[in-house]
A and B are shown apart, each in its own frame.
Chain A
Amino acid sequence: MRRVVLDGCGDFDEWREAARGLLASGVAPGQVEWRDRQGENGFDFDGVDGAISPPGPAAGVLQPTVPKGFIELAQAVICHSDPARYAVLYRLLWRLQADRRLLELASDAEVARAQLMAKSVRRDAHKMIAFVRFKEVPGASSPGGRRRFAAWFEPDHHIVARVAPFFQRRFTDMDWLIATPKGAASWDGDLLQLDAVPRVKPDLADDADELWRTYYASIFNPARLKVKAMQAEMPKKYWRNLPEAALIPGMIANAEARMLEMARKAATEPQPYHHRIREAAARAPGQAAAPAGTLAALNAEAMACTRCPLHAPATQTVFGEGPQDAAVMIVGEQPGDMEDLAGRPFVGPAGKVFDAALAAAGIDRAGLYLTNAVKHFKYELRGKRRIHQRPNTGEVQHCRFWLSREIELVQPKLVVAMGATALSALTETRHKLADIRGEPIAMKGGRMLFVTVHPSYLLRIPDEGKRAEEVERFHRDMGEVGRLAAAI
């Protein structure tokens, strides 16, 4: 039996040295007795017969290798306060030499035990980060004018060195000291100092604690008492070092009475303040309404449209845009995901295809009136995505109300229907799009109708060659639109 005595205190290198030596000498886990130098009852093992220093690695022996995950696990486990931690880790190390994938076996009893110990250490470290309370050390600022703070904390495990760099990264511009029964950490702007010397609780006070207690008491909602939920995350063992915790018993005791009092009290009459606001609101001139008979007025009216159920799940009405005297009106199907968010037509992926076709045809988008047959985005939720859905006949019917008023106001000479939905919104008679595509057709009122595909159709063609062909054809259609517009 080999006895190895370690300082403990979360020092990973110390254990690693010893473990390497033992492994190199082929000492099986059952042959090692691991001990804390500071025994459980303060009993000092140093100088006891049979206590030996850990053997160094034998010369010429290969260093054992371990998977990366082991180091990370062992660095956490070694901070645990359970004296069994050394043996737990050594057994894992021993078994890893034969079974490299052991750590992936989370259901293995020894792996599970080590993981549980690591979890306990991580939780303790997290609670230290959360529950350390710095108190300003009065009158003492360091030579550089830095403010000085001190804190007392009682961790379960040897985590001071593990957690200290967090405080260094966070509280860089102040001097601080964190004292614990398991050692201390301090920072002065240059040097992070760590040791494992046990400290006793210092006498610290800070006036700011009173403000913090005020906040803690006021942010609490007495109508939602959930004491167990609080204690699960903030166990009582931490309370003695938390300035706010002294308030807890009183807060719990009074909660019921406070809630009953709120329920009992009838609402009082509003103060003059409220009436003044009401009067001011009534006097305030509303948004100057656009003059009737303009696109702006029609747009404002359409913003509040609830003619069909499509308005409810959509962000907003996406109305047409462009000059009121535009000679050409382009009608698409409905706004898509991007249009719904931006509140403008043809700004999504299909809009980009459309813009490219305009550019190729030499048409200035700013001169066109762009709109859609349906003014709200219709979609279906699939997971966390909104999937476009084609509007049905009824929805197109409802929305024709807006489209026909847009046509009345703009009086375009040429109306371009992109896609079957736009076509059905613009004509009473049923045509197949393919039959009338690319040829100007006379509409009532001396207007011309020109029919082409919707640019989103081009995005859905899977075959690249076919797509290039169709894009080419769409560009030709737009070229024709340009020529027709020029002839007006």
Chain B
Amino acid sequence: MNIGMRKTLRERLAILSDAAKYDASCASSGTVRRDSAASGGLGSTEGSGICHAYAPDGRCISLLKILLTNFCIYDCAYCINRSSSNVERARFTPEEVVWLTLEFYRRNYIEGLFLSSGIIRSSDHTMEQMVRIARDLRVTHNFRGYIHLKTIPEASPQLIEEAGLHADRLSLNIELPTDTGIARLAPEKRPEGIRRAMGDLRLKIEEAAEPTLVTKRRRRFVPAGQSTQMIVGADGASDATILSASGRLYASYGLKRVYYSAFSPIPDSSKSLPLVKPPLMREHRLYQADWLYRFYGFGIGEITASRPDGMLDLDLDPKLAWALGNRAEFPVDVNRAERERLLRVPGLGTKTVKSILSVRRLRRLRLDDLARLGVSIRKVQAFITAEGWTPRRLIERPDLEAMFAPKPQQLTLL
């Protein structure tokens, strides 16, 4: 970089937010409730997240998602910031990040900060700077908004400990579902080190959740938990491989979320990667499958069993695909079936199932009752019986699948 040609704050903001956009997470939910009524300071978090804007990519903008710097000593093939890429480089000072966060927050553009960074010098050096920003916001500026810090792999436990005192959420991206994939595309990353760091963090979070013997209070430590991200479509991993990895991550480290990020072309892309449209529908199906696993009582194996290649059906959502593959489970009687079975009906969500359970204590449900609960009758009618309704042999119709298939769309070229 030429001396005297120092980039303006605005130019660097453009570079360092462009560099951060491939991280899908923007959640500001799930943390403790707190506000500034008593402190007279700035900021609050009230449980549910708030999306302050949406970009034309359909993604929510909740946090100021930036990198401290996009200089990086790692050379991960899928990453816009890898050391061999020719993207413009820039860095913020910690003071600039603090200033941007507070000024954006005051104007109600954002819920808080999601800070990540390229690895400069060493993991500890990078992590130290990020922790300093979080500490400044919390301690010096009395900031009560949301803070999400990306933890740098291999950073020392003391730094993680302090990061967790200030941040609502910490995350560490596993990036790819298999160790061989990581070895191929991110040679400097050590998957076992990432897993160990996640395990450590889970133990620390659980320890903090235990009430202390003396005060009986729980320590506030990463109240919104930890999350991770996997890139979809950069390596050859199947959906079954990806979802099995998710299942292990949720179960092993108590993650709040696993994010899926369809690999999308990046400027100055590495030659070793596919330059195609990002597989957005595949990403969407993975999120749906993830939801079924976390909230609908589905096992990972059940969701991915329907196809021999381990891929989810792109034309049908995974719940519908499961139902069509397990027709003997249907129809389900909405007036008698237990919650677990109702949750398996395509078209019934967790909220609707709750309403059904509540209403049927008072009266038997008919199809028009379900319609008033917001249920799409067209979607569910083949799979349920209700007062005055049996689907007859609809469930056995060979063309049932065709009834749900999407309308053909014109293909677009990249």
Most A-side CB within 10 Å, residue of B86, B196, B251, B270: B251
Most A-side CB within 10 Å, residue of B55, B73, B361: B55
- Inter-chain contact count A-B, CB under 8 Å? 250
For A227, list chain B residues within 8 Å (CB).
56, 58
Instruction: Give bound CA distance, A362 to B107, whole Å.
Output: 65
> Given the interface contacts A105-B359, A313-B248, does A259 sit within 8 Å of B414 by beta carbon?
yes
Rounded to whole Å, the gap between the CB of A361 and the closest CB of chain B is 27
For B297, list chain A residues within 8 Å (CB).
383
Task: Tell me if B29 counts as interface (CB < 8 A to partner A).
Answer: no
Interface residues of B in 64-78 (CB under 8 A from A): 64-65, 71, 73, 75
Instruction: Give bound CA distance, A135 to B107, whole Å.
Output: 6
Instruction: Give bound CA distance, A260 to B414, whole Å.
Output: 7
> Given the interface contacts A316-B196, A341-B199, does A224 sit within 8 Å of B278 by beta carbon?
yes
A93-121 near B? 1/0 per residue, CB < 8 Å: 00000000100111111001000000000
Of the residues B84, B107, B195, B358, contact of A316 by C-beta under 8 Å: B195
A228-262 near B? 1/0 per residue, CB < 8 Å: 11100110000000101000100110010001101
Task: Tell me if A392 counts as interface (CB < 8 A to partner B).
Answer: no
Q: Which of these binds chain B: A39-47, A125-133, A439-447?
A: A125-133
Rounded to whole Å, the gap between the CB of B365 and the closest CB of chain A is 7
For B18, list chain A residues within 8 Å (CB).
218-219
Q: Determine if A107 and B369 form an interchain contact, defined as CB atoms under 8 angstroms apart.
A: yes
Task: Tell me if A223 counts as interface (CB < 8 A to partner B).
Answer: yes
Instruction: Give bound CA distance, A101 to B21, whole Å.
Output: 49
> Given the interface contacts A208-B104, A341-B252, A384-B250, does A107 sit within 8 Å of B41 by beta carbon?
no
Task: Tell me if B277 counts as interface (CB < 8 A to partner A).
Answer: yes
Q: Determine if A274 and B44 form an interchain contact, defined as CB atoms under 8 angstroms apart.
A: no
For B83, list chain A residues within 8 Å (CB).
270, 273-274, 277-278
> Given the interface contacts A170-B35, A216-B61, does A223 sit within 8 Å of B264 by beta carbon?
yes
Rounded to whole Å, the gap between the CB of A317 and the closest CB of chain B is 8
Q: Determine if A219 and B203 form an interchain contact, defined as CB atoms under 8 angstroms apart.
A: no
Q: Determine if B192 and A171 form an interchain contact, defined as CB atoms under 8 angstroms apart.
A: no
Q: Determine if A230 and B271 form an interchain contact, defined as CB atoms under 8 angstroms apart.
A: no
Task: Tell me if A312 counts as interface (CB < 8 A to partner B).
Answer: yes
Of the residues B42, B55, B250, contact of A220 by C-beta under 8 Å: B55
Q: Determine if A316 and B373 form an interchain contact, defined as CB atoms under 8 angstroms apart.
A: no
A279-322 near B? 1/0 per residue, CB < 8 Å: 00100000000000000000000010000000011011000000
Task: Tell me if A25 counts as interface (CB < 8 A to partner B).
Answer: no
Q: Determine if B17 and A219 form an interchain contact, defined as CB atoms under 8 angstroms apart.
A: yes
B384-400 near A? 1/0 per residue, CB < 8 Å: 00000000000000000
Chain B contact patch, size range = 35 or more
- Determine chain B's interface SS by DSSP, over half rule: loop
For A342, list chain B residues within 8 Å (CB).
199-200, 203
Instruction: Give bound CA distance, A133 to B58, whole Å.
Output: 20
**Residue in chain A with minimal CB distance to B75:** A274
Task: Tell me if A151 counts as interface (CB < 8 A to partner B).
Answer: yes
**Residue in chain A with minimal CB distance to B277:** A223
Q: Determine if A381 and B251 form an interchain contact, defined as CB atoms under 8 angstroms apart.
A: yes
Task: Tell me if B6 counts as interface (CB < 8 A to partner A).
Answer: no
Of the residues B10, B46, B56, B192, contact of A230 by C-beta under 8 Å: B56
B30-64 near A? 1/0 per residue, CB < 8 Å: 00000111011111101000111111111111001
Q: Determine if B107 and A206 form an interchain contact, defined as CB atoms under 8 angstroms apart.
A: yes
**Residue in chain B with minimal CB distance to A304:** B192
Task: Tell me if A457 counts as interface (CB < 8 A to partner B).
Answer: no
> Given the interface contacts A268-B86, A343-B196, does A381 sit within 8 Å of B58 by beta carbon?
no
Q: Determine if B41 and A224 form an interchain contact, defined as CB atoms under 8 angstroms apart.
A: no
Rounded to whole Å, the gap between the CB of B349 and the closest CB of chain A is 14
Task: Tell me if A214 counts as interface (CB < 8 A to partner B).
Answer: yes
Q: Determine if B56 and A252 form an interchain contact, defined as CB atoms under 8 angstroms apart.
A: yes
> Given the interface contacts A170-B35, A229-B58, does A386 sit within 8 Å of B251 by beta carbon?
yes
**Residue in chain B with minimal CB distance to A377:** B252
For B95, list chain A residues within 8 Å (CB).
none
Task: Tell me if B337 counts as interface (CB < 8 A to partner A).
Answer: no
Task: Tell me if A173 counts as interface (CB < 8 A to partner B).
Answer: yes
Instruction: Give bound CA distance, A277 to B9, whole Å.
Output: 27
Q: Determine if B265 and A223 form an interchain contact, defined as CB atoms under 8 angstroms apart.
A: yes
> Given the interface contacts A104-B358, A224-B58, A226-B58, does A215 sit within 8 Å of B268 by beta carbon?
no
Q: Determine if A315 and B195 form an interchain contact, defined as CB atoms under 8 angstroms apart.
A: yes
Rounded to whole Å, the gap between the CB of B248 and the closest CB of chain A is 5
Q: Determine if B107 and A107 form an interchain contact, defined as CB atoms under 8 angstroms apart.
A: no
Instruction: Give bound CA distance, A224 to B232, whole Å.
Output: 14
Q: Determine if B13 and A265 form an interchain contact, defined as CB atoms under 8 angstroms apart.
A: no
Task: Tell me if A166 counts as interface (CB < 8 A to partner B).
Answer: yes
Task: Tell me if B307 counts as interface (CB < 8 A to partner A).
Answer: no
Task: Tell me if B341 counts as interface (CB < 8 A to partner A).
Answer: no
Instruction: Give bound CA distance, A218 to B13, whole Å.
Output: 8
Task: Tell me if A263 counts as interface (CB < 8 A to partner B).
Answer: yes
For B55, list chain A residues within 8 Å (CB).
216, 219-221, 230, 251
> Given the interface contacts A233-B54, A316-B196, does A281 sit within 8 Å of B73 by beta carbon?
yes
Task: Tell me if B92 counts as interface (CB < 8 A to partner A).
Answer: no
A-B contact pairs, 27 of them (CB 8 A): A105-B362, A112-B372, A168-B37, A169-B37, A169-B44, A170-B42, A172-B36, A173-B41, A208-B104, A211-B10, A211-B104, A218-B18, A220-B55, A221-B55, A224-B264, A224-B278, A224-B280, A226-B280, A233-B51, A262-B267, A268-B268, A270-B83, A277-B83, A303-B192, A343-B196, A381-B248, A381-B251
Nearest 9 Cβ contacts at the A-B interface: A229-B58, A226-B58, A107-B369, A341-B199, A169-B35, A270-B84, A172-B36, A223-B264, A220-B55
Instruction: List 10 additional A-B contacts (Cβ < 8 Å) besides A170-B35, A221-B21, A315-B195.
Output: A130-B51, A173-B40, A220-B21, A220-B56, A221-B22, A244-B53, A263-B265, A277-B73, A313-B248, A316-B196
